[in-house]
């Protein structure tokens, strides 16, 4: 009798703790090299003042993104982040409130940043953007092995190194890199998305695709194929940052805000996704300050500072988090696993999930 009672107690406690999440689908969005400063403060007039960092006159840029207060400036630049995510989701990383998000790695550039984020693990060996296939298993291939998810996890990327970072050669999961095309039976929108990527100026070379083209492939794929997990990797802010074009960097952020808005609208109007999909967004590193704004890396102070946005049915609407705190990007992978009700294990240690993302 005693034994049975304790067994019942264990069952009740397990049921209490293994609360079922509502999230069945995840869209993970990486925005390469977009700073927390612009996200939380809007346009930086000290960078705008440097003529070498823009092609247009400052008055026309101020007309688009300038305003009297920080609240107005950031809402003008990122209306979806401030109008919707800040009301229905969470925004971490405003260092003006001592709320910090950082990469754990000591390199502060793209491959290591993405790798620690999707693997939940900082591997010091990953020290180059031309590092070959990632030996560390990532959250997406783990999810792809779970019941109901196999074949329903896809990556669409603006930068060709992403196939090495997720190690497509190992996991054979669908991935559409720059200038690759979605194959199979396609909708009109997918055919057009495949096509237009070849008609854009090849401004940054063969290894990257403009984010608008990556977006078109991603959005049409979501509508037509209903993947359960999608990783979208955007790159314009980093490319335009390195090019030292602050005006176009701001435009890129503004357009990405709108793209995320449109993806959220799609999610919330399609019954397949509605009220059971979480969107998680973060960059892979920050950038320098003032004159050093175009660059990043261990020699550029502040470029390990990042941010995190989450919106979905399991995440409390805390909005902009204004309390002191510290998140590292290697905590995001387990957070995504937990949102789907899984516990991520891999061929390496995995950092625990971010508790405050859950109700
Ligand atoms: Zn970069």
- Give the pLDDT of residue 20: 87
The tokens of 261 are what? 């808005």
CA of 286 to the centre of ligand 1 (A): 9
| Mean pLDDT in residue range 239-261 | 98
Is pLDDT of 173 > 90?
yes
Going by DSSP bridges, is the β-strand pair 308-311/277-282 parallel, antiparallel, or unpaired? antiparallel
- Give the pLDDT of residue 219: 98
pLDDT (tens digit, 9 = 90+) per residue, 11-70?
555 445 556 899 999 999 999 999 999 999 999 999 999 999 999 999 999 999 999 999
CA of 299 to the centre of ligand 1 (A): 13
Identify the structural domains of the chain with CATH numbers, from first to last: 23-357 (3.40.720.10)
Terminal Cα-to-Cα distance of the chain (whole angstroms): 36
Is pLDDT of 237 > 70?
yes
CA of 199 to the centre of ligand 1 (A): 24
CA of 128 to the centre of ligand 1 (A): 12
- Give the pLDDT of residue 6: 59
- Give the pLDDT of residue 249: 98
CA 212/CA 69 separation, integer angstroms: 30
Strand residues in 243-307 grouped as ranges (E): 277-282, 305-306
pLDDT (tens digit, 9 = 90+) per residue, 306-350?
999 999 999 999 999 999 999 999 999 999 999 999 999 999 999
CA of 33 to the centre of ligand 1 (A): 6
pLDDT (tens digit, 9 = 90+) per residue, 289-311?
999 999 999 999 999 999 999 99
Nearby residues of 55 by Cβ (< 8 Å), 6 or more positions away? 245, 247, 248
CA of 240 to the centre of ligand 1 (A): 9
Going by DSSP bridges, is the β-strand pair 277-282/153-157 parallel, antiparallel, or unpaired? unpaired
CA 111/CA 308 separation, integer angstroms: 18
| Mean pLDDT in residue range 252-256 | 98
CA of 35 to the centre of ligand 1 (A): 12
- Give the pLDDT of residue 10: 56
Contact present, 242 and 189 (Cβ < 8 Å): no
Going by DSSP bridges, is the β-strand pair 325-328/99-102 parallel, antiparallel, or unpaired? parallel
Give CA torsion, residues 303, 142, 190, 80, to 10 deg.
Answer: -40
CA of 284 to the centre of ligand 1 (A): 9
Judged by DSSP in three states, 261 sits in helix
CA of 18 to the centre of ligand 1 (A): 40
CA of 211 to the centre of ligand 1 (A): 15
| Mean pLDDT in residue range 165-171 | 98
Residue that has been written with the tokens 């990007």 in this structure:
329
């Amino acid at each position: 009798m005693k034994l049975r009672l304790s067994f019942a107690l264990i069952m009740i406690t397990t049921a209490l703790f293994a609360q079922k999440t509502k999230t069945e689908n995840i869209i993970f969005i990486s925005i390469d090299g977009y700073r927390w400063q612009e996200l939380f403060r809007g346009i930086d007039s000290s960078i705008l003042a440097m003529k070498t960092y823009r092609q247009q006159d400052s008055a026309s840029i101020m007309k688009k993104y300038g305003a009297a207060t920080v609240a107005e400036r950031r809402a003008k630049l990122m209306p979806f982040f401030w109008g919707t995510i800040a009301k229905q989701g969470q925004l971490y990383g405003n260092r003006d409130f001592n709320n910090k998000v950082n990469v754990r790695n000591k390199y502060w550039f793209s491959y290591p940043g993405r790798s620690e984020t999707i693997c939940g693990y900082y591997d010091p060996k990953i020290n180059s953007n031309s590092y070959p296939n990632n030996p560390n298993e990532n959250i997406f291939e783990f999810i792809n092995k779970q019941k109901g998810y196999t074949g329903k996890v896809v990556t669409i990327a603006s930068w060709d190194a992403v196939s090495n970072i997720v190690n497509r050669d190992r996991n054979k999961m669908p991935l559409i890199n720059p200038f690759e095309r979605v194959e199979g039976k396609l909708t009109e929108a997918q055919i057009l998305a495949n096509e237009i990527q070849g008609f854009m100026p090849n401004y940054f070379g063969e290894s990257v695709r403009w984010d608008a083209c990556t977006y078109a492939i991603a959005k049409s794929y979501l509508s037509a194929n209903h993947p359960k997990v999608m990783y979208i990797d955007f790159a314009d802010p980093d490319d335009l940052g390195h090019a030292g074009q602050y005006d176009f960097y701001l435009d890129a952020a503004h357009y990405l805000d709108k793209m995320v808005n449109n993806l959220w609208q799609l999610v919330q109007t399609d019954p397949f996704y509605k009220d059971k999909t979480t969107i998680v967004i973060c960059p892979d590193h920050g950038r320098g300050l003032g004159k050093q704004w175009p660059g990043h890396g261990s020699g550029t102070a502040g470029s390990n500072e990042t941010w995190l946005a989450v919106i979905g049915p399991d995440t409390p609407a805390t909005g902009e988090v204004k309390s002191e705190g510290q998140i590292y990007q290697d905590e995001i992978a387990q957070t995504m696993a937990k949102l789907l009700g899984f516990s991520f294990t891999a061929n390496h240690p995995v950092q625990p999930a971010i508790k405050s993302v859950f109700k």
